A and B are shown apart, each in its own frame.
Chain A
């Protein structure tokens, strides 16, 4: 009963006109960036953090969360109508969605994507409501060794699930940790890794890193590429409604996509992109007609589009209850929460119930808004694709520059933004993934604190890492991931992640 009472209170918070307005702005912006290729939800959340400075923390988090799940809705539109994924989690939708559009069935493809997303989003939020409290209570038992174990597992899973070489991914984890240690040490007060520069005593800001690696680097890469944007037409709202046959074919994929997506969202290192590929692979394996996949079958749209929305709800659990971002988008949200003085973790639910339940309730409302935004106004969103990229990219760059500066008011952050933009561009060219770097940077201080505290508490003894069951289990799983290149099952999982990344390129 407590849960329903709390949820009711959450609705009271999220239904306040002020919060409702920012929820709408969030899902609107999410749909917008989901539709427009070249700017993902991570960069958008980072760019919009300065906008939230004057807002209440609850409105700020409601808006930024709306961007995340809104992007999952909007991304399908361009995949289906233009064969260009608006963001990474909609890459797989191109395969069958665009084929359906070519066969004159763009309407049902868009319709099932929107309805499937709505169902998954709503069920995912219910899962979030039911699991958050027990998870938070469980996490209260965690000490430094347990936290170290969870973060170790999270970082190794991010490496396993990012594309390409595992060694390169771990290299990026080390780089991210090193960047996190630049600046004053919080224990001794000594300046570390500053190369003798006073300007680096405050450390490196999160915004230049995220916006550089994800925003600026994407623009640099997009300048090289010319998108082909032949937009297919959809005839009216009626054409968007799937037939009874479509619903029959999609019911299974929607059900399975919801569960699979949610579970992969909770998993540290998982996320929306992986959930779409896993769902597609699962549906193809279960289908009586696997040969139809890639030729325009509705199951190939329903499963992945459902899975990415369920995953977006699931990933909030790990962030809100453990304080650990399971993927880089949640990392950006963690950054925003910290800027607003909110530390997610086991105590988050107790210390900020209004924010916690308010954000969760806003997700229900946001899902309804998204359904209303996406179906009747599909024509409007498609028209946006006709805005030339040469007009868009200077504006994107300007927003990243302003965003990088306004968080700390330091001109150095503009230079750092450019450096990380260039680094992100080169990393892409040299096949390095930025996600492990960013997550390691975000967790760097916590990893160090957990390790140092454990060693001090247990008198330099490493034994508690193995004798505490939760810590030992997490570290053991992490070690299995480290040795995964030798294990055939995990190698297959890595192959799926690599295929996902290849298609994303």
Chain B
């Protein structure tokens, strides 16, 4: 198995290639009159060079402690739940509106994957939603999406 250094170096190298490809689509200009792609190209090349150094070092120093990333199964499950709920929040925020998506987000996060606990998360989520709605929408006049409920 490759070390985490090699994996991260490869990832950044691919990102650098995308930056270079995008920069080459733009006018580069010259030293006297640099175009919009001039500096992004330099940035992409610099990044590619440094990521190659990271990969090279990982290949030379291929053994030793702390070379792999460890996450426990329990932590991974918790993290996946939080990321999933946040992603759904972002996707449905505009359509369902602030109050409803916020209530659902908080309810699932307070519940935290425990199967039979419902009342406490619902009450906490309800109170926090009302509080944040009042704070942001009423007091601070922030424009939050109303969604299907229209509030």
Inside 8 A of A54's CB, which chain B residues have their CB? 140-141
A interface size (C-beta, 8 A): 60
B23 touches A193 (CB 8 A): yes
Provided the pairs A54-B140, A171-B50 are in contact, do residues A192 and B37 lie with their beta carbons within 8 angstroms? yes
Contact with B along A415-429 (1 / 0, CB 8 A): 101100110010001
Name B's interface SS: helix
Which residues on the A side are within 8 Å of B72 (C-beta)?
224
Whether B39 pairs with A168 at a CB distance below 8 angstroms is no
Assembly CA distance A177 to B27 (angstroms): 18
In the complex, B15 has a CB within 8 A of chain A: yes
Mask: chain B, 1-40; 1 = CB below 8 Å from A; 0 = not? 0001101100010011011001100110011111111111
Judged by a CB distance under 8 angstroms, whether A381 is at the interface is no
Asked if B124 lies at the interface with its beta carbon under 8 angstroms from chain A, I say: yes
Assembly CA distance A150 to B78 (angstroms):
44
C-alpha spacing A220/B84, complex, angstroms: 12
Q: Is the CB of B39 within 8 A of A390?
A: no
Number of B residues whose C-beta is below 8 Å from A? 64
Most A CB contacts (10 A, CB to CB) among B4, B38, B86, B94 go to B86
CA distance A448 to B35 in the complex (A): 11
Asked if A395 is at the interface (CB within 8 A of a chain B CB), the reply is yes
Judge whether B19 and A188 touch: CB under 8 Å: no
Task: Pick from A51, A167, A397: contact of B109, CB below 8 A.
Answer: A397
A residues 392-451 with Cβ under 8 Å of B? 393-395, 397-398, 401-402, 405-406, 409, 411, 414-415, 417-418, 421-422, 425, 429-432, 448, 451
Which chain A residues lie closer than 8 Å to B34 at the CB level?
A: 451-452, 455-456
Instruction: Find out whether the CB atom of B19 lies under 8 angstroms from the CB atom of A178.
Output: yes
Indicate if the CB atoms of A451 and B50 lie closer than 8 Å.
no
Q: How far is the CB of B122 from chain A (nearest CB, A)?
A: 13
Within B71-111, the residues touching A (CB, 8 Å) are 71-72, 75, 78-79, 82-83, 86-87, 89-91, 93-94, 102, 105-106, 109-110
Residues in B lying within 8 Å of A, measured CB to CB = 4-5, 7-8, 12, 15-16, 18-19, 22-23, 26-27, 30-40, 43-44, 46-47, 50-51, 53-54, 57, 69, 71-72, 75, 78-79, 82-83, 86-87, 89-91, 93-94, 102, 105-106, 109-110, 112, 124, 128, 132, 136, 140-145
Which residues on A are within 8 Å of B, measured CB to CB?
50-51, 53-54, 165, 167-168, 170-171, 174-175, 177-178, 181, 185, 187-188, 190, 192-195, 216, 219-220, 223-224, 390-391, 393-395, 397-398, 401-402, 405-406, 409, 411, 414-415, 417-418, 421-422, 425, 429-432, 448, 451-452, 455-456, 459-462
- Not counting A224-B79, A415-B90, A460-B32, a sample of 9 additional A-B residue pairs whose C-beta atoms are within 8 angstroms of each other reads A174-B46, A174-B50, A219-B82, A224-B78, A398-B105, A429-B71, A455-B32, A456-B33, A460-B33
